[in-house]
Amino acid sequence: MPENDEVDRIVAAWQRAHPGLDFSPLQVLSRVARLAKHLDRARRDAFASSGLEPWEFDVLAALRREGPPFHASPKALLQQTLVSSGTMTNRIDRLVERGFVERHTDPHDGRGVVVAMTDAGRAAVDDAMGELVAREAQLLGALPAADQERLAGLLRKLSLDFD
């Protein structure tokens, strides 16, 4: 049996304090919450090492995933990043100022706009992604590949109801 972690100690304390409740959800979700904090820190560090804020990475990553010519409409970007229209406009403005994206007239609709990633934006997001993958691999290093695949499958199954 592996040694106890902080969640085991918290659950045991709750079981003593309130023995009538089933604390089994805490066994899973408290660990997920604690891991999310570690992941958030690792992601922020990975993005910072490439000079990006997390929100900048989100927008640039959405454009990068589009493939060449690395452009998308503001509406497509806000759908992928789950932010409001006003927030996306502000983010695009700031990325334009940094030289990571440019606005162009939509070639399929002269009234529309597309956001195109520049070479500087692509370099920044590629650097950040390389750093992110390395840091995330380090976080998962205690699990063999088969356990990582099993965990990914279980988390996928759990998350389908939320997506």
pLDDT tens readout for residues 68-106: 999 999 999 999 998 999 999 999 999 999 999 999 988
pTM (2 decimals)? 0.81
Give the start-to-end residue ranges of the domains of the chain.
1-49, 52-137
Q: Has residue 10 got a pLDDT over 60?
A: yes
CATH number of the domain located at residue range(s) 52-137 in this protein? 1.10.10.10
Q: How far apart are CA 97 and CA 101, in angstroms?
A: 8
Q: Has residue 1 got a pLDDT over 60?
A: no
The share of the chain scoring above pLDDT 90, in percent, equals: 87
Collect all residues with Cβ–Cβ distance below 8 Å to 75 and sequence separation of at least 6: 85
